[in-house]
Structure 1
Amino acid sequence: MRSLELACLPLALLAIGCAGGGDAVREPAAASPVEAAAPARGPVRSFSYETLDGRELSTASLAGRFSVIGFVATYDVASQAEARFLAGLFRDHTPRINAALLVLEASENRPLVEAFVATLKLPYPVALADAATIAGEGPFAGLHHVPSVVILDPEGKEAFRHVGLITQESLEEVLRRLEREGARPAR
């Protein structure tokens, strides 16, 4: 009986700790990705990358619509999930939005990136990042974590940034919020 009491002691202490008192200070809940503050829309993000199929992924090619750009790596399982979430978003909201993927890997990994795209059957443009972007510099300064997502407004200004995995549903909610704020895509 004594060993049973000792075995249950940690559970009892845990229950007491979780119950808390009325005057316990609680940490505020982390903001959901949708509630996260969008950066002030500063200058247009000027960029240009060559896609795997030889086209251009650039400020100009995305102009006129909200553009959701995923930053991923082929070796990362969460990046695979993000690429699929973006595929669903693209499928459900084209032509209202653009979607694209920027792979943060060196150009010698191109065959691996092509296999990644083919395996996941990605329907949107995919490009390899340049060395500056991979290092977290360049037009998307500070963004070198995978997966990450940036949403550009129709003018090419950054309207939202999220580091870590974000679902299709959360991205849809962010887009709805951005549209409600008055930044409507040009027709």
Structure 2
Amino acid sequence: MFTGLVQGLGTVAAVEPTADGARLRIETDLAAELAPGDSIAVNGVCLTAVDPSAGAFSADAINETLRRSSLADVGPGSAVNLELAMRAGDRLGGHIMQGHVDGVGTISEIAQDGFSRVVTIAAPAELLRYVVEKGSIAIDGVSLTVSAVDDDSLSVSLIPETLERTILGAAEVGKPVNLEVDVLAKYVEKLVGAHR
């Protein structure tokens, strides 16, 4: 489980494509806190740490992960958001996230609004049905509040802290982003549907 509070940035040092997916090598100071087999969210995608050292770790992304997330687009030099798995007893400052990305959206518009930056993301209708104004969504692993939603897109307002501490601060129009909708909405839909 994750909270969507990014703990650090990493840099992709290498990507080794294979028939089964790809192995990513990511440089980060957070690697010192990882043991082999630990979960870590990379741009919101829950991956398993392999060969962690003081300054880097590797993780395998299977083909399913590459198809459903924007990790297929990262390469050497790409910056990534990182979050270690939540420990029991930690504060839940963001919202409950699983690291199971539901799909990819594309940044369609960026506008300043005072000291915040409003980012609009075009997203598939099958994901937008779970998105509500003032609800939670994870974008590249960052827990955010939805400021607006319509049939084609959603918007979030990014505060200076988010712009400074995450890769969203450098995001540009056209960038693909990982989206994880609120898991509670998916469970409610399934439970209500079962009783129709």
TM-score w.r.t. structure 1 length? 0.27
More strand, by proportion = 2
Larger Rg: 1
Q: Which gives a bigger RCO, structure 1 or 2 (Cα 8 Å, sep 6+)? A: 1
More helix, by proportion = 1
TM-score w.r.t. structure 2 length? 0.26
